[in-house]
Amino acid sequence: MAEPANLKFLRRLVTTLTAVMIGGLLILIALIVIRVQQPSPGLAIPDQITLPDGTTAQSFTASTDWYAVVTTGNQILIFDRVTNELMQTVDIVQ
């Protein structure tokens, strides 16, 4: 028994839509993988950080202009990214 023309058209339309959606999903996955593998420009960790005597680093965070080190002595040391000089010390009050 021959199928109606509308049903044949609908089947081809659904098949085409499925193929396009699968292709788009594969492209999105590829773009995400490529983006994740690229390092962020300007946000690299400095090779060496000189901390004041008696301080020990606990964590590190960075922006495009500065980076900060949180010490075990409850201080945040903010350094200039270009000169690597200490710009500010913030005491953490508990």
How confident is the prediction along the chain (94 residues), in pLDDT tens digits per residue?
788 889 999 999 999 999 999 999 999 999 999 988 877 665 677 788 888 888 999 999 988 889 999 999 899 999 998 888 999 999 988 7
Contact 16, 9 (CB under 8 A): no
Give dist(CA 35, CA 74) in Å, integer.
Answer: 36
Q: What is the pTM of this model?
A: 0.55
- Residue 93 sits in which domain range? 43-94
Number of domain units in the chain: 2
Kindly state whether residues 26 and 50 are assigned to the same domain.
no
pLDDT computed for residue 18 by the predictor: 98
First to last CA, the chain: 81
Give dist(CA 41, CA 35) in Å, integer.
Answer: 12
pLDDT computed for residue 4 by the predictor: 86
pLDDT computed for residue 42 by the predictor: 59
Kindly state whether residues 27 and 61 are assigned to the same domain.
no
- Give the sheet arrangement for strand 57-62, strand by strand: 57-62, 66-71, 75-80, 86-91
